[in-house]
Structure 1
Amino acid sequence: MTEREQEILALLRQDPMIAQQELATRLGISRSALASHVSSLIRQGLVMGRGYVLREGPYAVVVGGANMDICGQSRAALRMGDSNPGSVRTSAGGVGRNIAENLARLGTDTRLVTAVGNDQHGHQLLEASQSAGVDVRQVQVLDGKATSCYLSLHDGLGEMSCAINDMGIIEELTPARLTPLGGFLSAANVLVLDTNLATCTLDWLFDRHGEQVLFVDTVSVAKVEKIRPWLGRIHTLKPNRSEAEQLCGFAIEGPDTWPRAAHWFHSAGVQRLFLSLGEQGIFYSDGETQGHLPILGCPVNNVTGGGDAFMAGLVHGWLAGSDMAQTTRFALGCAALTVGCHETVFSGLSKAAVERILEEYPC
């Protein structure tokens, strides 16, 4: 394949429905020269003709936040208003980016769409994601903008006490910047969204791609309201208890309230619900099948990335055709491995590693 043909393929991955003249203009060549290159790509079996359909395997796209995580952990109980001996670590993070890395480590062809600054943190995020197997070609690298940072403080047991996020750059991931990626997004087998995205961006994604399989990570109580108008277009939703209560409007407490919550979400149009109940485990429902699984009794070092790993496990399970119980248990295994390490993403995550820990901690 020639260098020019590689350039053409890169543009076609962004928008398989691009007009021939626009494609030629962006490359700075004539339409006749473009036609010659496209004919060569068709002969090689890399382009399938009509609409420039590319011959590629299934892939998942994650659209969401990416940031540098700065995590401080005290050696003992936190003393507020005082200096606490402990450790400080910096690592690649962000809900969307974490989900993408976990999913790639599980063996899924994963593409990340986010925004980072053209700065040291942005370059570190791209390098860390790419080295984990994530396709970062569609990440928007913006000059003059600072890459997001997330600063968290944890006690000696690894529980988060508080956090500060500086994520203004995600507002730059606008519909205008996503529109050229329309064909690329439409060709995905699954889209994973997080509510760090601007409301206008989420609205655009739900409006333009609402017929696709959409997984949504609710992120926080403060941000979950963004998806209220679009619950009917969500395939899989993963809220925690507080986020679910914010949407449904009633307290979710004992086991008798879990099916009621699921009924509310299904009535609103959500196809599958995975309700995180903290120490009480996970309640899952697809309207026909419901169940509850406890968390795995593994050691906990850092809970920050557990939910992101769980979401990756849900996507992996769906792509693998697993049933609700199998999917939930696999996702719990992903989360257990992650909270057992000090980083927000467990570098040793793999399908085999999850299967091993599930054997070690049977139901």
Structure 2
Amino acid sequence: MNDFLRPALTVVGSINLDITATAERLPSPGETIGGAVLRQQPGGKGANQAVAAARLAGRSRMVGAVGNDDAGRHLLEAMAAAGVDTRDVARVDAATGTALVLVDRDGENQIVVCPGANGEVSVSGVAFAEDEAVLCQLEVDQAVVLDAARATRGYFVLNAAPAAPLIPELLERCDLVIVNETEYELIPELKEARLVAVTYGKDGAAIYEQGQRVAEAPGVPVSDVANTIGAGDAFCAALVLALRSELDYGSALAVANAVGADAVRDPSSQPALKPLEHYIEAAIASR
């Protein structure tokens, strides 16, 4: 696809330092598990999506906030190295957001998030172009997400995670909402939403228009799962980019499923990915 046009994507959302302990299994309440391996890595749903978009399409922009601390500096450097424009990431006095993550040998996880600087994210003074797609999540204040939706002049997408009741105006302004099957059930107003993409893990994904299933794509089998944390974020970025590249719903879902499958094979929350063209060509060839 030599004439492939790289779409623009701006992500407004969270930036976290992930402190991850990987163990044979997840502990039960009150239980202590030994023998885990500890590491720190960049994370946050917003940053994960911005990095995935940059790796897929060559460029993306991040709007968020980090602290004036070593963690914030490290996270900004990591995003910039991946190809993310970080000029609209504020440096604030609060501590950089942190996520405490437990992962078992199958890649399943438990996460506790300390939002820190993510509580000070703002889109004040940020300009959005008509050809820009804007992707938000719910790890920052929903009022900020609504501000971003109001300011968006192009295509506005909400990854409604973690699940929460949605401000009616916010839902009305969404061109697309992306959720997993649990979030879809926890947010009943999505049943009547304009356009909703729902992921079903190994069973693939589907798109609904006002509650009617209009497209689907099967899951991609993965036998070597390393980490599931960044897979949903990579799926979100890939789906938006694929739809903005004028793929039909089914092909766009197939592209996003393939990207998500690659993501779970990588132990990082911000996995290495191939260019979007690779996944598009593979999806088209398989249909």
TM (normalized to structure 2)?
Answer: 0.88
Matched position secondary structure for 1:346: coil
- Residue 197 (structure 1) aligned with residue 121 (structure 2): no
- Residue 106 (structure 1) aligned with residue 49 (structure 2): no
State which of 26, 33, 43 in structure 2 corresponds to 1:78.
26
Counterpart code for 1:309:
A
Residue 240 of structure 2 aligns with which residue? 315
8 Å CA contact retained: 1:285, 1:324: no
Residue 281 of structure 1 aligns with which residue? 204
How far apart, in 2, do the equivalents of 1:228 and 1:152 lie? 32
State which of 66, 69, 92 in structure 2 corresponds to 1:116.
66
Aligned residues: 278
- Residue 154 (structure 1) aligned with residue 96 (structure 2): no
Matched position secondary structure for 2:84: coil
Matched position secondary structure for 2:279: helix
Residue 156 of structure 2 aligns with which residue? 214
Report how far residue 67 of structure 1 moved: 0.6
Residue 45 of structure 2 aligns with which residue? 95
Report how far residue 352 of structure 1 moved: 5.2
8 Å CA contact retained: 2:71, 2:96: yes
Higher helix share: 1
8 Å CA contact retained: 1:60, 1:188: no
8 Å CA contact retained: 2:98, 2:116: no
How far apart, in 2, do the equivalents of 1:98 and 1:227 lie? 24
Deviation string 1:115-142 (CA, Å, 9 cap, x unpaired) is 0011111111111100110111111011
Counterpart code for 1:63:
V
Kindly report which structure 2 residues correspond to 1:202-351, keeping only aligned pairs within 5 A, or say none: 202-209=145-152, 212-221=154-163, 224-248=164-188, 264-266=191-193, 270=194, 272-286=195-209, 290-299=214-223, 300-351=225-276
Matched position secondary structure for 1:136: strand
Counterpart code for 2:242:
G
Give unmatched runs, 5+ long, in structure 2: 1-5
How far apart, in 2, do the equivalents of 1:227 and 1:163 lie? 25
Give unmatched runs, 5+ long, in structure 1: 1-56, 250-260
Residue 63 of structure 1 aligns with which residue? 12
Matched position secondary structure for 1:316: helix
Q: 1:227 to 1:168 in 2, by over 3 A?
A: farther
8 Å CA contact retained: 1:237, 1:274: yes
Higher strand share: 2
Please report the RMSD computed on the Cα atoms of aligned residues, expressed in angstroms.
2.5
TM (normalized to structure 1)?
Answer: 0.70
Matched position secondary structure for 2:22: strand
Matched position secondary structure for 1:301: coil
Q: Identical aligned pairs, as a percentage?
A: 24
**Which one has more relative contact order, counting CA pairs under 8 Å at least 6 apart?**
2
- Residue 168 (structure 1) aligned with residue 116 (structure 2): yes
Matched position secondary structure for 1:146: coil
